[in-house]
């Protein structure tokens, strides 16, 4: 146990807000979290703000907008796990007694880059040769199909499930259910991925308020405990030894379960990093929700639907809720906290007591991923 | 006391390296720090990497180059206090027992932007109207001259002192002494600042290895204790109430001294954020090294020279050592640690036992500065 609880969460609906700057995306999420925590905002003692491509001083800009600067503010960049990485630091600081109450923000404005995949840094030779994120995951999907005799239509089932979940989430960017035929009939991006198997580009913000267990119940009677908070980086070149076993997540899962004393069977609900349809299947296996090669069977059994044995991405995940990169990790935690409180409405996972969030990313030459952060929460 | 010590420091000479990418700037500084700490690099358990404009996954890129990834790596952006902000997080984590040994990196490549001031974000209306950093500090200088009857030539004396110090520092970007006449005769940038009163544009990297007091002496017999580690953000609009009193540093200094139980009279040597000549004078006063309005007198008395009562910026400071933004805070600590160990050669401050570093910056609309970090070290 870390001695740290979540007392407030908030987000704005993910989507496209080309007219808003990043501070004006961020502060409304913070205000929702403050209201949710039932806290005087002047009790917030530190801010950890995650953004991948938001530019300079994003946390300061957001807090300045609502008159709450003058406290420590740290901006964290860790690609897709920017705000979950920020959360990991906030958990350390609150757990250490450095602060009683800390705010975590995740925010991103991707519409400023236009559409398509993000512009990438100029010193990635593999990326320059074509190994963009869709291409990397497409190679994994091809290998998975080859190794396990799986058809492209089967993998498309991940998008069908997650879009069905997103249709129940007012904060999701994509709120329309789709069929396998619609997924397969959408534009080809990187074989076997069609457009609807790739997370959309969008903007968003999410916020989390942490409190030490000592003070948490001053604000809410139902604090959600942080059972594990884990961050790691990829091992150089390891990602290419085995295309269908994402090393950073396999190792991260193992270390997180060791840290928490929990195992995959203890997880009632999880948000995992389904940036592409295949990713969710690989993560089922990486977390041990099923043996290797059986992810497709787990999906097709219905076990990962809401109402199944281990519902995955009830929010709609990155595929439907959206993936404004720096906001994603925090938004996953918003969903898990709402699930554990029983506030998830039509997408509620009944009786969920333990939930997990998983954000991984940052494809750079020679790594599978540069950063992965996993958190486990318990009511 | 934090229970945290510095056991290793390293940097590369600041300068212009347009042919190197940011990872290749960073890893040589890390290797110097590892050698300095006399440590098996596999004992490093976490990395906090600060960069302001370095792009994505900088810490991962650096650690990947030297085969040391696979551990938690956090990238921190806090403008001029990016690496000092990273240090503040590492101190919390090591102090909390999360890690026994952590590495802090500061790195920046400014040559990629060409020359002149940095490109700024698009949502700063004051900046768009002309309030760039040179303009902001020039207004402060004008006010200081008006309030205290000081002449531009007198303020130029800061550059003369710091260039003299830089001439003794093999890691400085500017190694040539200059006279007041040369400073005043250089190109006008923002009245009263001539070119030699503005820090140069350049590239650089610096690294610090922290250890818990529990393990520090396994590596070195002379660990340098972290006596205070402070980070704060500016208060909205406060910076413009009094142009010659930098609110964020005045408050930061007060809180840092309270935290450490020390006062300005206890500081034997300090590196302060002299991005422009006037800044150093304002910070003399903000830290209480002299009363308000007497900074120019303190300079002219020789007290802040090496050999004086309170030597400031023996490294040459930002004006001579250079200011690769994200690298600056860590490089200040490199200098202070070398001073406290008695390793500073011709620029040694004799008998220095307590040293301070101060990095502040991030001019955004409505703030004086967005982030300020102050550290105090003791041998």
Annotated catalytic residue: which of B198, B230, B290, B323? B323
Least CB-CB distance to A92: which of B52, B78, B96?
A: B96
pLDDT at B364 over 80: no
**Model pLDDT, residue B116:** 72
Q: Is residue A232 within 8 Å of B70, Cβ to Cβ?
A: yes
**Model pLDDT, residue A239:** 56
Least CB-CB distance to A232: which of B67, B72, B93?
A: B72
- H helical segments located in chain B: 22-37, 58-65, 82-95, 125-128, 133-148, 152-155, 157-166, 180-185, 213-216, 247-260, 277-286, 295-300, 317-320, 325-341
pLDDT tens readout for residues A175-234: 999 999 999 999 999 999 999 999 999 999 999 999 999 999 999 999 999 999 999 999
Which of the four pLDDT bands, split at 50, 70 and 90, describes residue A240? low
Tell me the chain A residues in contact with residue B54 when contact means C-beta distances shorter than 8 Å.
none
Mean per-residue pLDDT, B70-89: 97
**Model pLDDT, residue B366:** 67
pLDDT at A323 over 90: yes
Mean per-residue pLDDT, B177-192: 98
pLDDT tens readout for residues B296-312: 999 999 999 999 999 99
**Model pLDDT, residue B241:** 74
Residue in A172, A221, A201, A220 with CA at minimum distance from that of residue A334? A172
For the record, the structure tokens of A370 come out as 């540069």
pLDDT at B240 over 80: no
Q: What average pLDDT does chain B have?
A: 94
Which of the four pLDDT bands, split at 50, 70 and 90, describes residue A101? very high
Q: Which residues of A are catalytic?
A: 80, 323
**Model pLDDT, residue A290:** 98
Residue with tokens 């990602």: A239
The sign of the CA dihedral B244, B246, B247, B251 is: negative
Residue in A206, A170, A172 with CA at minimum distance from that of residue A28? A206
Tell me the chain A residues in contact with residue B19 when contact means C-beta distances shorter than 8 Å.
none
Which of the four pLDDT bands, split at 50, 70 and 90, describes residue B320? very high
pLDDT at A76 over 70: yes
B323 is catalytic: yes
pLDDT at A366 over 70: no
Q: Is residue B333 within 8 Å of B376, Cβ to Cβ?
A: no
- Nearest CA to CA, how far is A100 from chain B (Å)? 14
Which of the four pLDDT bands, split at 50, 70 and 90, describes residue A237? low
Alpha carbon distance A164, A158 (integer Å): 10
Alpha carbon distance B34, A161 (integer Å): 49
Alpha carbon distance B63, A196 (integer Å): 35
pLDDT at B43 over 60: yes
Alpha carbon distance B21, A143 (integer Å): 33
Residue in B290, B286, B319 with CA at minimum distance from that of residue B304? B290
CA angle B332, B211, B85 (to 5 degrees): 40
Among B233, B235, B248, B373, the strongest candidate for a mutation testing the A interface, having the largest count of A CBs within 10 A, is B233
For the record, the structure tokens of B69 come out as 């990834």
Among A4, A19, A50, A60, the strongest candidate for a mutation testing the B interface, having the largest count of B CBs within 10 A, is A60
pLDDT tens readout for residues A149-181: 999 999 999 999 999 999 999 999 999 999 999
Q: How far apart, in Å, are the Cα atoms of A194 and each of A14, A254, A294, A320, A331?
A: 22, 32, 23, 14, 25
Mean per-residue pLDDT, B222-242: 86
A178: Cβ contacts below 8 Å, ≥ 6 apart: A159, A160, A163, A196
| Better-scored residue on pLDDT, B77 or B126 | B77
- H helical segments located in A129-175: 133-148, 152-155, 157-166
pLDDT at A30 over 70: yes
pLDDT at A128 over 90: no
Alpha carbon distance A255, A261 (integer Å): 10
CA angle B371, B372, B375 (to 5 degrees): 145
Tell me the chain B residues in contact with residue A92 when contact means C-beta distances shorter than 8 Å.
92-93, 96, 98
DSSP letter string over B235-277?
PTTGGGT-TTS-HHHHHHHHHHHHHHT--GGG-SEEE---SBH
CA angle B75, B79, B83 (to 5 degrees): 50
């Amino acid at each position: 146990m870390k001695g740290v609880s979540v007392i407030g969460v908030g987000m704005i609906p993910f989507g496209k807000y080309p007219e808003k700057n990043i501070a004006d995306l961020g502060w409304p999420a913070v205000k929702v979290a403050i209201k949710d925590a039932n806290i005087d905002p002047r009790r917030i003692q530190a801010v950890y703000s995650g953004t991948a491509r938001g530019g300079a001083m994003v946390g300061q800009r957001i807090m300045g907008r609502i008159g709450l600067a003058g406290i420590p503010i740290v901006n964290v960049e860790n690609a897709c796990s920017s705000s979950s990485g920020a959360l990991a630091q906030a958990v350390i600081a609150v757990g250490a007694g450095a602060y009683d109450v800390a705010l975590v923000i995740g925010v991103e404005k991707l519409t400023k880059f236009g559409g398509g995949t993000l512009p990438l840094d100029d010193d990635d030779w593999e990326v320059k040769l074509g190994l963009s994120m869709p291409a990397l995951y497409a190679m994994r999907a091809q290998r998975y199909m080859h190794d396990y005799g799986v058809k492209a239509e089967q993998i498309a089932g991940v998008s069908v499930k997650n879009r069905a979940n997103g249709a129940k989430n007012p904060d999701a960017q994509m709120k329309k259910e789709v069929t396998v035929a619609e997924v397969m009939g959408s534009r080809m991006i990187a074989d076997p991925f069609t457009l609807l198997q790739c997370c959309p580009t969008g903007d968003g913000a999410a916020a989390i308020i942490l409190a030490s267990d000592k003070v948490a119940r001053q604000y809410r009677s139902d604090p959600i405990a942080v059972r594990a908070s884990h961050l790691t980086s990829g091992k150089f070149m390891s990602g290419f030894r085995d295309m269908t076993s994402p090393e950073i997540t396999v190792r991260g899962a193992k270390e997180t379960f060791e840290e928490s004393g929990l195992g995959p069977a203890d997880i009632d609900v999880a948000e995992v990093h389904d940036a592409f349809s295949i990713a969710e299947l690989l993560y089922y296996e990486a977390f041990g929700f099923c043996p290797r090669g059986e992810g497709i069977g787990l999906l097709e059994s219905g076990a990962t639907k809401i109402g199944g044995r281990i519902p995955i991405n009830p929010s709609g995940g990155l595929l439907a809720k959206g993936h404004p990169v720096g906001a994603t990790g925090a938004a996953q935690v918003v969903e898990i906290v709402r699930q554990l409180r029983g506030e998830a409405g039509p997408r509620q996972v009944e009786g969920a007591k333990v939930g997990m969030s998983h954000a991984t990313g940052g494809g750079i030459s020679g790594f599978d991923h540069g950063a992965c952060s996993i958190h486990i929460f318990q009511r």
